[in-house]
Amino acid sequence: MGQLVDKSEFDRLVIVDEFNSNYNIIFGRVYKINLHDSLPQLILYNEYKSPDTLADFYKNFIPNFDQIQNNENKKIIGQINSEKIDDFIEVLNQPKGLSDLLEFYQIDSTWYLKNKDRIIEKWLANNTKLDKLEKEYGKYILNDFEKFRIMAYRHILQSNTSGYSSVTVAFENDTDTLIIHSTGQESFLIPWLSGTTYKNYDPNLSALVSQFLPSDIIINKNTLNPTIEDFEDRILQQLTFKVGFVNRKKFKKLLKEKSR
pLDDT in tens, 82-98: 999 999 999 999 999 99
Percent residues over pLDDT 70 in the chain: 90
Q: What is the pTM of this model?
A: 0.89
Calpha distance 63→222 (Å, rounded): 12
Look at residue 184 in the predicted model and tell me its pLDDT: 93
Residue 124 has a pLDDT of 97
Q: Which residues of 167-180 are buried (b: 16+ CB within 10 A; e: fewer)?
A: bbbbbbeeeeebeb
State which H helix or E strand residue 13 sits in: strand 12-21
Does residue 169 contact residue 200 with C-beta atoms inside 8 Å? no
pLDDT at res. 66? 66
What pLDDT is recorded for position 74? Answer: 84
pLDDT for the residue 256: 86
Q: Is the pLDDT of residue 19 over 80?
A: yes
Query: Is residue 30 pLDDT above 70, yes or no?
Result: yes
Determine the pLDDT at residue 161: 64
CA torsion angle 66 68 74 76 (round to 10): 70
Query: What is the rounded distance in angstroms from the CA atom of residue 30 to the CA atom of residue 172?
Result: 14
pLDDT at 1 over 70: no
The SS3 of residue 187 is helix
Please say if the pLDDT value at position 230 is more than 60: yes
Average pLDDT for 121-140: 95
Residue 208 has a pLDDT of 97
Share of the chain above pLDDT 90, in %: 74
pLDDT tens by residue, 63-85: 566 666 677 778 999 999 999 99
